[in-house]
Structure 1
């Protein structure tokens, strides 16, 4: 099931669109605090974002910039304003499509389906993106990108990082990591995992992320993340 984040402050429109999209088996999320859109986006990790231009506090263009600084998730803009510059600005900011209000739901669903098909190609592995400590982690490309730069990881290093950040602030045992990496821990030296984790930390050091992978003596490892209340 694809997750869609609908950033729309018109409660009536939001609930109407959510109900219709749910009927199409999409999982729809809204925004609780329009001043913390990026934090809620990061928490949900949606597969697609639909965002209105006119929003409380900051407009949709602002949040598009913020999201794009962390993720390549597809974005569809909504606008009730009849300004060609809105569409131009949306595309320049990296939006994938633009819909003028009022719109027919059939048009919206067609654009959603086309965008998801183009980006994820239903029949292939989806490009998985996660954010962690302000960095974008691209699982398929084995890349970690932050404002400090980018680093490329080996498949084992990325696998370890993926396991850790998928369960942030939770300890992953050494046994679980070894089993997942090499199928059978009986044929792998415990030191092999240590070497791989140390290499991962070394790769992340230029980005300032190495200290956020903590060793829990006698237990395993943990990727830490700030918790927003």
Structure 2
């Protein structure tokens, strides 16, 4: 059974869509708070998202970009907008497909099954999941997750890239130049504060797993991850 998150501010459409999803054996979760969609996404961890374009506060394009910063799960946009540019905007902001209202729910379910098969089922790439392990700390780059002793922290793409680099080099130093080259194509426009902010975020994710003072700043040179923690949480 797959979990499908519905981001749609028309209660009637959201209910009908959810009823059809549940009817075909999957689980639907309808978003009620349209100002904190990403937080709900992190909690629900759906396998697919139906995303309306016209939403209160922030539009669906914005939320597509936010979800894409933490996940590669399929996103199908649903909208009354039928213009070519609207569909292009959706795809360029991270959506995988686009459905125009009003739509036949049989088509919606067919699209749903097709994307789930491609992402997780018969048509999904048959590759083993990568993981990086360091003294009980395990990074899942494709899942954008970091875990230790049964506890998990969600990551952004940049956090995952940073942690993979640091964990693979540990206890050796990762130079500032190497990190910038890994994270950004053009180092010229990245200031020191941007790198510091990203490192602060990585430290916070480590702290969620009870790892403190493991990420060392070597002034003027780079950063080093020291595996001084115990494998089991106290």
Map 1:1-229 to 2 at 5 A.
1-122=1-122, 140-142=129-131, 152-153=132-133, 157-158=137-138, 161=147, 163-166=149-152, 207-208=202-203, 209-214=205-210, 220-221=232-233
Q: CA distance change for structure 1 residues 162 and 91 in 2, over 3 Å: closer, same or farther?
A: farther
In structure 2, the residue corresponding to 1:49 is in which secondary structure? strand
Question: How many corresponding residue pairs?
Answer: 172
**How much is the aligned-residue C-alpha RMSD, in angstroms?**
3.7
Cα distance in 2 for partners of 1:162, 1:24 equals 36
Distance 1:211 1:155, change over 3 A: closer
How far off its partner does 1:212 sit?
A: 2.9
Residue 17 of structure 1: CA displacement? 1.1
Gaps of 5+ in 1: 128-138, 143-151, 169-198, 223-229
Instruction: State whether residues 164 and 221 of structure 1, in contact with CA within 8 Å, keep that contact through their aligned partners in structure 2.
Output: no
What SS does structure 2 have at the residue aligned with 1:6?
Answer: strand
Structure 2 CA distance for aligned equivalents of residues 66 and 30 of structure 1: 18
Contact kept in structure 1, 2:118 and 2:124, CA below 8 Å: no
* Residue 177 of structure 2: aligned partner: none
For the residue of structure 2 that corresponds to 1:4, the secondary structure is strand
Task: Give the deviation of 1:91 after TM superposition.
Answer: 1.1
| Unpaired runs of at least 5, structure 2 | 140-145, 155-166, 172-197, 212-228
What is the SS of the residue equivalent to 2:15? helix
Conservation of the 8 A alpha-carbon contact between 2:152 and 2:209 = no
d(CA) in 1 for partners of 2:109, 2:16: 13
1:113-153 CA-partner distances (Å, limit 9, x unpaired) = 110101112587999xxxxxxxxxxx9232xxxxxxxxx54
Q: TM-score, normalised by structure 2?
A: 0.62
- TM-score, normalization by structure 1: 0.63
Q: Deviations over 1:151-182 (max 9, x none)?
A: x54696427826533499xxxxxxxxxxxxxx
Offset of 1:95 from its aligned partner?
Answer: 1.1
Contact 1:120 1:126 in 2 (8 A): no
Measured in 1, the distance between the counterparts of 2:26 and 2:149 equals 26
